[in-house]
Structure 1
Amino acid sequence: IDIVNMKAMRFKDGKFSADSIPDELKPAADKYRTKLVEKIAESDDTLIEKYLEGGELTDEEIHKGLREGSITRRFIPVVCGSAAGNIGIQQLLDTISVCLPSPLEMANITPIFGVNPRNDEKIERKPAESDPLSMRVFKTIADPFAGRLTIFRVFSGVLKADSTVYNSTRESREKIGNIFYPLGKKQVPVQKAGPGEIAVVAKLKYTKTGDTLCDMGNPIRFEQMKFADPMISYAIAPKSRGDEEKVSTGLQKMLDEDPTLKFHRDTETKEMILSGMGQVHLEVTLEKLKRKFGVEVEMKTPKIPYRETIKRSSRAQGRYKKQSGGRGQYGDCWIEIKPLRGGANFEFINKIVGGVIPRQYIPAIEKGITETMLGGIIAGYPMVDLQAKVYDGSYHPVDSSEMAFKIAGSMALKKAVQGANAVLLEPILKIEVVTPDEFLGNVIGDLNGKRGKVQGVEPMSGGNQNIIALVPMAETLTYANQLNSLTSGRGMYSIEFSHYEEVPAHLAQKIIAERTKPKEE
């Protein structure tokens, strides 16, 4: 409902129409319309007199009052909509045009502040052509034909075509060629851009999103833009074999466009991981990847980096003997394994005495153990927190070799683990969730349902609560979408790794069964 123009806006397939407000919504619309008019009238003596006498203002007076109230910051207009559903976008643009001031109107009210990059002294710039040039890059676009396009807003001074500017963020010079105004899909060439204007230049060498560009003789650096950490991650894979390099190259260029995107290859799972602010954000990114770079990918939840460990001590023999004519292979060792505490992943102890195993074969035994730990034993995940002690064995003066003792060490570990109560460990994340008060119970209940352990709840300003909890990583893979649903889009969260913890037995059985299930041909 548009309470400024008192119309019901209906949206479908990216198009909208303005109709009369339905009868059932009219009382609520009238109520909020009255509040809006009262707020506008309070900001102007002339309007308050007219309102008290007649109780209504004209559309022109309302628009004027909205604009003046925004300029003086007596109030801030709020516009509702959905970028994903293409709802309310035109209304937002109209509101910006009607309500928000031009920089020239703000010139004597709110100068912008920065620091001199040479001495960190605080300085100001007024949004006027007479002040030295200063501007900030707020977006970068990787165009497959035109190259990198840099979009910026001029705060003060005038940027002219075919000039040189100073990037105070990166301490480098940039050559400005042609300047364009972005008008929808078109780019209109211009000779200059002044305060408040948004313009585009191409092929800057060093400049990235958030950088400050300014006059060489009057440098200024604005406060660095802070970008939110990603809230959701997915594994991605190209639909066509051989396209991995194209995916990686395309995404690296798109990272320049969007600093809230993160992309890396998981060294353990070998998956390409793409992280962003939400599922829609990632879907839009992949659609751009397809459109600009001609490569299609599919998203799936990333693999969980489980670990294996043991809970008690165990001893076992590894004896490898092979005879097939000529020189054979012989290696024999006894090892004891124990759980290791204190954060050390592995410890190897040599307790061989009397030369029952020659010294040169001891490193081979250790290598056999560590390589087997890396590949896992019960489910194929790396084994951690284990001490291995070799204390006995035997050798053959002719047939023994490093390879034979390496195999013997591996065999001994596999046998010892069978009696050591091996278990799976899962990564536990520390999660901080900020939610409005009214959703607190739902969010805590949801965290408890995810095997989470709430560590504390802290009240925040603005009617919000900060929940601190420990939650298994396996339960958080789609949490951004779930939190969005629980809090009507008003919740946010951050996560960081905390520690590893044993997986409950009933879940571990399912994970091991799935991991060891024979693959279909």
Structure 2
Amino acid sequence: MGDKSNEHPGAAGRAPTAGRPSSVRNVVLVGHSGSGKTTLVEALALTAGALTRAGRVEDGGTVSDYDEIEHRQQRSVQLSLVPLEWGGCKINLLDTPGYADFVGELRAGLRAADAALFVVSAAQEAEAVPGSTRAMWEECAAVGMPRAIVVTHLETARTGFDELTRVCGGIFGGADPDAVLPLYLPVYGAEGPDGHAPVTGLTGLLTRKIYDYSSGAREVLAPDPGRLPLIDGARDRLIEGIIAESEDETLMERYLDGAEIDERTLVDDLEKAVARGVFHPVLAAAPAADGARQGLGTVELLELITRGFPTPLERRAPEVTTPRGSARPRPSCDPGGPLVAEVVKTASDPYVGRLSLVRVFSGTLRPDETVHVSGHGLTDRGHEDHDVDERIGALSAPFGKRQRILDSCIAGDLACVAKLSHAETGDTLSATDDPLLMRPWTMPDPLLPLAVEAHSTSDEDKLSQGLARLAAEDPTMRLEQNPATRQVVLWCLGEAHMNVALERLRNRYGVQVDVVPHKVSLRETFGEPASGRGRLVKQSGGHGQFAICEIEVEPLPVGSGVEFVDRVVGGAVPRQFIPAVEKGVRAQAARGVAAGHPLVDVRVTLVDGKSHSVDSSDGAFQTAGALALREASGQARIELLEPVATVEVVVPDEYVGPVMSDLSGRRGRVVGTDQAGTGRTVVRAEVPEIEIGRYAIDLRSVSHGTGRFSRSYARHEAMPAQVADRIRESAAAEVMA
């Protein structure tokens, strides 16, 4: 934001360390997939001296070489930390995935950061800022997190910088578009043969100077006098935007009276407004050209981070309690205070084992000390709660695949911790004599089911361990052992999330699995009254088997379960055998009578039977009871009951029609709509669960990535006859196979 020398104060070859919380800046990069976040991180690392040339760390590899899947797919799939040094500050850059399936990684980054850089690509259409980016802006706004906007891909721009800034002001500024304004304007060079003019530098609106990058290093030049009117027009608007957010109420009066506001005052007020999260500057950035050591706008961006973004001292820590739920004061960012830290990411490294990325909120974390690990309350997703003491291993600062050893990690800083075998993402680390638990951040609910089976007998032994390790790394996954369908189901956020899970099982944990169709929990019931007779008469020499029972079956209202009634008179079935008949009936009901699904909502009445003084037994009457129920089912219409979910879909108003039409096509019943803030609507519907197995994917298509939904079980109800017939045919074909 002001003039700095061209010499970068970074240091390659050693791990950046923080001397005090005031010298730390934790910044998360947010943006859609392909917006250029990882490239921007590498450009900043090059300018800060952490890279020897574009994209390369000094010992080989790149800062994005953290996960083998990322390397193959050429996109980020998990949160990664890149620490830099600039201007006497340690900057922790948290690079997050841009794809919606990995929003859990993004929210972990928000938890660990104190400010956010929203990366927007000029290579897209002006109005096409993705809905996921807008949603994350709103989340940051709700907690008052400072934000700035970085425009990338100006070299292939489909949208001009001025137009994109205007669009960002309308989208992100809301009622106050002047809260989103550029600090610098691009300087364009001569047009090439393709008619495109490259961006060669930036014009500082507050300083009225040109920062030229055309030589490969930043040079400060005086502006062309012919550009001054353009500069002054944008500068006046910027000054008005800064003054409008100034804490000095006299500044606006002085400005309106024609007083010249000095540059130092404007810069100070700008930095305060950015740190308070009420003003959001727009900057442009681009990677360094071949042979250059500074990318366009990287120095300006590092200056904004170190001078305009808040320190950890200015952040309010999350609420804490004891593991038993007693409230405790929020921790203060004091390196000498009691230890309170949180695991924001868990990963497995092929060389050092499990690594936990930890944000320290209070105290100082040191290697080889014993800490208390408190669980995070996500047992419904297959994550165990923890309440144990554990000795940690080495502390390190990551850079690509390399880990650089740290002596300690103070309050406000981040580090990787080795050998935390029990701790999972979201767990709290605290002192052993004063265990604490931080309030967990909100995780999205995984709504895409992935049913898997071990490929071979050798894989069966490794499957449970592999799935458990997957769940430990990613709290957005939910592991389910469904007793009704006897399937192992991994619930994911989307198709990309699902594919990454499968690849990690195969390549990281050595487990080969087969993906099988996901089954919903169907049930059966009688559609009309019926009767049945169970007869077991066997004589094979010596002691035989004899049991005859007659039953009547009638349907009951939904939710009634299975009732058994004894109406035998005259001792036709001896009293001691009646419980055996009931046991046989209930066992057969659990197995189903038509398509192998549990029988529910019926009353089974035992009305008559016969016994033998020698050959009758409990086992014989259990079998007869089951046979009687099966015979009754052959004389009645058996209905399949399917689970119905209550679904709530939140979408922008323009997509309400397509969403309602899509739900109707899934046999859904729309039961109402409500407004959900400006320009958004909640659509409530009841939809059979069998129809929404892939709705997490399909909704993105229908709503262009702007919709989200939740679901909850409502009840079981009768399935249409034609759908039930298809289910029965499929079940019969599976048995034949």
- Contact 1:234-1:302 at 8 Å conserved across structures: yes
Pair 1:238-2:432 in alignment: no
Q: Corresponding residue for 2:345?
A: 139
- Secondary structure at the aligned position of 2:651 is classed as strand
How far apart are the structure 2 equivalents of 1:215 and 1:322? 71
Q: Corresponding residue for 1:120?
A: 327
How far apart are the structure 1 equivalents of 2:119 and 2:437? 40
By relative contact order (CA 8 Å, sep 6+), the higher-ranking structure is 2
- Secondary structure at the aligned position of 2:426 is classed as coil
Match of 1:177 among 393, 418, 424: 393
- What is the deviation of 1:368? 2.6
Q: Corresponding residue for 1:421?
A: 637
How do 1:69-468 residues align onto structure 2 when only pairs under 5 Å count? Answer: 70-76=274-280, 100=305, 105-106=310-311, 109-112=314-317, 114-115=319-320, 117=322, 120-126=327-333, 129=335, 133-143=339-349, 146-167=352-373, 173-204=389-420, 206-214=422-430, 222-341=438-557, 343-468=559-684
Task: Go from structure 1 to structure 2 and tell me whether the alpha carbon gap of 1:239 and 1:6 turns closer, same or farther (over 3 Å shift).
Answer: closer
How far apart are the structure 2 equivalents of 1:396 and 1:46? 103
491-500 or 407-416: bigger deviation: 407-416
Q: Corresponding residue for 1:511?
A: 727
- Contact 1:41-1:51 at 8 Å conserved across structures: no
- What is the deviation of 1:397? 3.1
- Aligned-partner residue type, residue 286 of structure 1: L
How far apart are the structure 2 equivalents of 1:455 and 1:392? 48
Structure 2, unaligned runs of 5 or more: 1-34, 37-117, 126-151, 170-177, 185-203, 209-227, 243-266, 284-294, 376-385
- What is the deviation of 1:138? 0.3
- Contact 1:6-1:29 at 8 Å conserved across structures: no
- Secondary structure at the aligned position of 2:457 is classed as coil
- What is the deviation of 1:337? 0.9
- What is the deviation of 1:331? 2.1
How far apart are the structure 1 equivalents of 2:721 and 2:542? 49
- What is the deviation of 1:452? 0.8
- Contact 2:451-2:490 at 8 Å conserved across structures: yes
- Aligned-partner residue type, residue 309 of structure 1: T
How far apart are the structure 2 equivalents of 1:301 and 1:75? 50
- Aligned-partner residue type, residue 234 of structure 1: L
Which whole-Å deviations, capped at 9, do the CAs of 1:185-220 have from their partners, x for residues lacking one?
A: 110112122354321111235433223334678887
- Contact 1:113-1:122 at 8 Å conserved across structures: no
- Aligned-partner residue type, residue 463 of structure 1: G
- Contact 1:114-1:220 at 8 Å conserved across structures: no
Structure 1, unaligned runs of 5 or more: 11-16, 80-89
- What is the deviation of 1:334? 1.7
TM-score (norm 1): 0.82
Pair 1:32-2:237 in alignment: no
- Contact 2:480-2:490 at 8 Å conserved across structures: yes
Which whole-Å deviations, capped at 9, do the CAs of 1:241-285 have from their partners, x for residues lacking one?
A: 331221110111221111111112221222111112112112112
366-375 or 177-186: bigger deviation: 366-375
Task: Go from structure 1 to structure 2 and tell me whether the alpha carbon gap of 1:122 and 1:261 turns closer, same or farther (over 3 Å shift).
Answer: same
Structural RMSD (CA): 4.0
94-103 or 266-275: bigger deviation: 94-103
- Contact 1:41-1:47 at 8 Å conserved across structures: no
- What is the deviation of 1:227? 1.9
How far apart are the structure 2 equivalents of 1:437 and 1:416? 52
- What is the deviation of 1:504? 0.4
- Contact 2:459-2:513 at 8 Å conserved across structures: no
How far apart are the structure 2 equivalents of 1:171 and 1:399? 58
The total of aligned residue pairs comes to: 496
- What is the deviation of 1:443? 0.9
How far apart are the structure 2 equivalents of 1:437 and 1:450? 21
How far apart are the structure 2 equivalents of 1:5 and 1:207? 35
How far apart are the structure 2 equivalents of 1:136 and 1:8? 37
Task: Go from structure 1 to structure 2 and tell me whether the alpha carbon gap of 1:367 and 1:281 turns closer, same or farther (over 3 Å shift).
Answer: same
- Contact 1:71-1:101 at 8 Å conserved across structures: no
Task: Go from structure 1 to structure 2 and tell me whether the alpha carbon gap of 1:442 and 1:361 turns closer, same or farther (over 3 Å shift).
Answer: same
How far apart are the structure 2 equivalents of 1:217 and 1:324? 73
- Aligned-partner residue type, residue 317 of structure 2: I
- Contact 1:71-1:100 at 8 Å conserved across structures: no
- Contact 1:67-1:98 at 8 Å conserved across structures: no
194-203 or 97-106: bigger deviation: 97-106
- What is the deviation of 1:488? 1.5
- Secondary structure at the aligned position of 2:548 is classed as strand
- What is the deviation of 1:225? 2.3
- Contact 1:308-1:381 at 8 Å conserved across structures: yes
- Secondary structure at the aligned position of 1:481 is classed as helix
How do 1:13-52 residues align onto structure 2 when only pairs under 5 Å count? Answer: 20-21=155-156, 25-26=158-159, 29-33=161-165, 47=206
- Aligned-partner residue type, residue 345 of structure 2: K
- Contact 2:271-2:308 at 8 Å conserved across structures: no
- What is the deviation of 1:120? 2.4
TM-score (norm 2): 0.60
- Aligned-partner residue type, residue 719 of structure 2: V
How far apart are the structure 2 equivalents of 1:153 and 1:98? 23
How far apart are the structure 1 equivalents of 2:308 and 2:511? 42
Task: Go from structure 1 to structure 2 and tell me whether the alpha carbon gap of 1:455 and 1:176 turns closer, same or farther (over 3 Å shift).
Answer: same
How far apart are the structure 1 equivalents of 2:618 and 2:338? 73
467-476 or 296-305: bigger deviation: 296-305
Which whole-Å deviations, capped at 9, do the CAs of 1:333-391 have from their partners, x for residues lacking one?
A: 22111112362311111111212222222223223322222222222211111111111
Q: Corresponding residue for 1:86?
A: none
Which whole-Å deviations, capped at 9, do the CAs of 1:394-441 have from their partners, x for residues lacking one?
A: 233344333433333223222222333221111111112111211111
- Aligned-partner residue type, residue 164 of structure 2: Y
Task: Go from structure 1 to structure 2 and tell me whether the alpha carbon gap of 1:509 and 1:78 turns closer, same or farther (over 3 Å shift).
Answer: farther
How far apart are the structure 1 equivalents of 2:305 and 2:662? 41
Task: Go from structure 1 to structure 2 and tell me whether the alpha carbon gap of 1:111 and 1:463 turns closer, same or farther (over 3 Å shift).
Answer: same
Task: Go from structure 1 to structure 2 and tell me whether the alpha carbon gap of 1:77 and 1:492 turns closer, same or farther (over 3 Å shift).
Answer: farther
Q: Corresponding residue for 1:54?
A: 232
Q: Corresponding residue for 1:501?
A: 717
